[in-house]
Chains A and B, each alone.
Chain A
Amino acid sequence: MSFLPKPKLHHPNLPTNKLGYTRRDYEGTISTLCAGCGHDSISAAIVQAVFELEIEPHRIAKLSGIGCSSKTPNYFLNPAHGFNSVHGRMPSVATGANLANRELIYLGVSGDGDSASIGFGQFAHAMRRGVDMCYIVENNGVYGLTKGQFSATADRGSKSKKGQVNADEGIDLVQMALSLGATYVGRGFSGDKEQLVPLIQGALLHRGPALLDVISPCVAFNNHEGSTRSFDWVRAHNEAVNRLDVIVGRDEIVHAQEPGTVDEVTQHDGSVLRLRKLAPDYDAHDRDGAISYLAERKRAGEIVTGLLFVDPEPSDLHAALRTPAAGLNRLGDAELVPGAAALAAVNASLR
């Protein structure tokens, strides 16, 4: 960690967005994570993504659990709302907040330990219920904060820093999210912001459960030979199926120019996801196809990244529960507590 705050002075040509903010206005306090931690790059990508989307930071609620990854909301979007919950419980808090207040954009930040071990059930239910949120798992294969034990996402056969071999099967949260009904699923790498920033943008704009599994090397405990989450390993085995550009209104945000055929997806809010295909036969609209493609590539030792599945017409928890458009926090006591007569009517309808 650094002891000093990041200097306020910035580049004289630093651009402002239409709100008049610079990218620097989307930062948080200085990170206390280990120097070089992949999580810090994800924070930088979130800053970049929200700045470019021209969203006021206070329209976002950042929610997290426990872990190095879950500490990061302090390091971006300083003026945003935030809730640092207990270990593995971020999805519950996100679900409650989302039901209460429909005006915020929910950004959940969790770790592989937080989401695939203690919070695995929470994760599963947020996905299957369809909580409208951008759920980012900063996946380093270890419990960073508690000094590097294997997490449940660590690949079978990968080695710890001290040489122990992981005997258990690793949970693939992308596979889980696909089977559990998430409507926007992607995988990125902290070391590739050109790919990651638009993935985050698309997920923030998506009006349904969006999961991003972001491989994020832990430089302190999982960046050695034998690890499958090290910078070197991920760079060598990264198989990007597509590149994404997110287009909001008329302003196109172009991140990189690469060849390939183009697949345009118009999301419900009018934003366009432009997918430039790198794997020619990969279809990001085919949930089952994605599941088997991922399983096949995993056997081949590859890490598939990109926007892996998107449903342009998602449905969410509010639709399922038929909650009022305003959100629970806008209702008065009379509506929230309709009284014994209303309860009797409900009970009668179920007899």
Chain B
Amino acid sequence: MNPTDIKAPDYFHRVVDCQWACPAHTPVPEYIRMISQGRYADAYMVNWKSNVFPGILGRTCDRPCEPACRRGRVEDEPVAICRLKRVAADNKGDVEARMPLAATAKNGKRVALIGAGPASLTVARDLLPLGYDVTVFDGDNKLGGMIRTQIPRFRLPESVIDEEVGYVARLGLTVRSGERVDSLKSLLAQGFDAIFVGSGAPRGRDLDLPGRKEAAANIHIGIDWLSSVSFGHITKIGKRVLVLGGGNTAMDCCRSSKRLGGEDVRVVVRSGFDEMKASPWEKEDAQHEGIPIHNWLVPKSFEHENGKLVAMVFEKVAPVVGADGKKSARPTGEPDVRMECDEVLIAVGQENSFPWIERDAGLEFDKWGLPQLNPDTLQSTLPSVFFGGDAAFGPKNIIWAVAHGHQAAVSIDKFCQGQDVADRPPPHVTLASQKMGIHEWSYDNDVSNDLRFKVPQLPAAQALSNIKLEVELGYDDRLAFKEAQRCLNCDVQTVFADKLCIECDACVDICPTDCITFTANGDEADVRERLSAPALNLTQPLYTSGALKTGRIMVKDEDVCLHCGMCAERCPTGAWDMQKFFLETAQSGDRACRRAA
């Protein structure tokens, strides 16, 4: 193996599992340490810079960081990264003064944003401080997109949305709400320098089954129903409710139903429980509220009497593993299952739809009806039109919408300034020793043994009494501190200096997780097998030195390093050092946002 090039930003970035997994590359351990220190506003601003909606995401993020978190590999559960973000948002106090200012001088470029969801708002935040004239159009009356219209209030209070959407709006955003764009061509004709499409994936899939039309009055498309609930158009539901589908929308539908008069609310999925798309915690929350999940049942028909829905019939299926090793569901031949019900919510998926984009506008679509885009620049085949969020590659989540927003803003900025859109700016990276004294570090290297702390919730009965009551209470200071202490500081990197090593084995002996080995060089597959603990997790890199005095090399498996600094404390020559790696993805607004950091 060749010596690892630790100067390449990706190397240490990969070691910070959470940050690497976060689509917006939020510097997670940095803000978690700030929370430990009670520096909530600082923690908030670190988040705000990366992900724009810390208060919203701290309650709703899909949190790809958590399954990636190293802590989950050395004990039962990852750090509660997401809910710690909420702690920063809840306790930050007044951060007005730290926000960037609206540009005083305009740069003469006009940008239109279609849809006011998180993707568009991120583009706005990144471009407005640079002097762009940004106009957002949305068919709805308020900003926020699905954050506002879909996510139920018991998960996300409206005040949080208002606050964080507000930080963007007052940078000088021109808001044209209640205004649907119904022709791309006419928008193009208005002379915008660039257009960003952040219109989401607004169409809920339907189920075309016998009885669907006849019983239509009691059957609703999940996302339409949720937005009606959100707008207050719908305030109650029948006593017996069936929710079809196994994703997060289904979970929001069933939990909302429980709060609007549903007594016997059930979720029915065609897959197995484990295969459901919903996040484990969403399923857990639904079950906690007394909602059963029935699996391996395929909807067959709606039964109705006098135009009123009375029941649904399902076919029983079971998983079979095909010759190709793939699982599929096959009917078991058992009698159908009939469930009586008053109302059904269909939450079986969302689709993109761009009825307002004329097919001869010069914008190419692929066979799935999605725009053809450069995945890095998000530029469409019409050079002045960029996409992001759910509109770009189909429904994802808020944090992906934000990440797209940042990238699109970089592209739009470059495009408007006549630069090469494909030339992406590298991230900002620093690496700094944390050494304060012989065994003193400027980070807390004492590894906590605590297991993950549960976020306190309202008692179920109270939570179910009002659809606007937020269920989760959030961590208090004490729990937040303890949970924050569980973070392993994966950004504080073990940096090795070949020249200083005397091969005394002290680091090997002390390492609590057997990360370090001195061994003969070889090819990677071979070296992985020969380590103190074989490096079986191929997704994690090996850190290798050049040849040492004995001809051997130092190999460190990054997989389960606790970043405890013991290796550096026990090294007699300082060959190991603990250095903080800080990475921020480049944003177009960097220049203007500097005040925020």
Which residues of A line the B interface, CB within 8 A? 1-4, 6-14, 24, 30-31, 34-38, 40-41, 43-44, 190-191, 193, 217, 219, 223, 231-232, 235
Pick the residue among B502, B512, B534, B571 that contacts A13 (CB under 8 A): B534
Pick the residue among B74, B502, B536 that contacts A223 (CB under 8 A): B502
Which residue on A lies nearest to B73, using beta carbons?
A12
Asked if B505 and A190 make an inter-chain contact with CB atoms under 8 angstroms apart, the answer reads yes
Asked if B514 and A2 make an inter-chain contact with CB atoms under 8 angstroms apart, the answer reads no
Q: Other than A7-B447, A9-B75, A36-B570, give 18 A-B pairs with Cβ distance below 8 A.
A: A4-B445, A4-B564, A6-B510, A7-B449, A7-B512, A10-B512, A11-B514, A13-B534, A24-B512, A31-B510, A34-B572, A36-B504, A36-B573, A40-B506, A41-B505, A44-B508, A191-B503, A232-B502
Nearest Cβ on chain B to A265's Cβ, whole angstroms: 28
Which residue on A lies nearest to B506, using beta carbons?
A36
With A4-B446, A232-B549 in contact, do A9 and B512 touch (Cβ < 8 Å)? Answer: yes
CA distance A302 to B410 in the complex (A): 67
Which residue on A lies nearest to B574, using beta carbons?
A35
Query: Can you give 18 contacting A-B residue pairs, CB < 8 Å?
Result: A7-B449, A8-B449, A9-B75, A9-B449, A9-B512, A9-B562, A11-B513, A12-B73, A14-B514, A35-B506, A36-B502, A36-B572, A37-B572, A191-B505, A193-B505, A231-B502, A232-B502, A235-B549
Taking each of A11, A12, A37, which has the highest tally of chain B beta carbons within 10 Å of its own beta carbon? Answer: A11
Query: B569 an interface residue at 8 Å Cβ cutoff?
Result: yes
Name the A residues within 8 Å of B502 (CB-CB): 36, 219, 223, 231-232
Task: Report B547-562 CB contacts with A as 1/0, cut-off 8 Å.
Answer: 0011000000000101
Which residues of B line the A interface, CB within 8 A? 73-75, 439, 445-447, 449, 502-506, 508-510, 512-514, 533-534, 536, 549-550, 560, 562, 564, 566, 569-573
Give chain B's interface secondary structure class. loop
Which residue on B lies nearest to A193, using beta carbons?
B505
Asked if B569 and A35 make an inter-chain contact with CB atoms under 8 angstroms apart, the answer reads yes
Q: Which 7 A-B pairs have the closest CB atoms?
A: A36-B572, A7-B447, A44-B509, A36-B504, A2-B569, A219-B572, A7-B512
Name the B residues within 8 Å of A11 (CB-CB): 74, 513-514, 533, 560
Which residue on A lies nearest to B568, using beta carbons?
A35
Nearest Cβ on chain B to A6's Cβ, whole angstroms: 5
Asked if B513 and A10 make an inter-chain contact with CB atoms under 8 angstroms apart, the answer reads yes
CA distance A8 to B562 in the complex (A): 10
Taking each of A2, A31, A35, which has the highest tally of chain B beta carbons within 10 Å of its own beta carbon? Answer: A35
Asked if B566 and A2 make an inter-chain contact with CB atoms under 8 angstroms apart, the answer reads yes
CA distance A14 to B509 in the complex (A): 14
Taking each of B512, B562, B569, B573, which has the highest tally of chain A beta carbons within 10 Å of its own beta carbon? Answer: B512
Nearest Cβ on chain A to B597's Cβ, whole angstroms: 31
Name the A residues within 8 Å of B573 (CB-CB): 36
Which residue on A lies nearest to B508, using beta carbons?
A44
CA distance A232 to B572 in the complex (A): 15
CA distance A86 to B566 in the complex (A): 32
CA distance A10 to B511 in the complex (A): 9
CA distance A41 to B505 in the complex (A): 7
Asked if B506 and A9 make an inter-chain contact with CB atoms under 8 angstroms apart, the answer reads no
Asked if B533 and A41 make an inter-chain contact with CB atoms under 8 angstroms apart, the answer reads no
Pick the residue among B446, B503, B514, B571 that contacts A35 (CB under 8 A): B571
Nearest Cβ on chain B to A267's Cβ, whole angstroms: 28
CA distance A133 to B468 in the complex (A): 74
Which residue on B lies nearest to A217, using beta carbons?
B504
Nearest Cβ on chain B to A258's Cβ, whole angstroms: 13
CA distance A191 to B75 in the complex (A): 32
Asked if B560 and A35 make an inter-chain contact with CB atoms under 8 angstroms apart, the answer reads no
Name the B residues within 8 Å of A34 (CB-CB): 572
Asked if A219 and B566 make an inter-chain contact with CB atoms under 8 angstroms apart, the answer reads no
Name the A residues within 8 Å of B560 (CB-CB): 11-12
Taking each of B445, B502, B560, which has the highest tally of chain A beta carbons within 10 Å of its own beta carbon? Answer: B502
Nearest Cβ on chain A to B104's Cβ, whole angstroms: 51
Name the B residues within 8 Å of A2 (CB-CB): 439, 510, 566, 569-570
Name the B residues within 8 Å of A40 (CB-CB): 506, 509-510, 570
Name the A residues within 8 Å of B562 (CB-CB): 7, 9
Which residue on A lies nearest to B570, using beta carbons?
A35
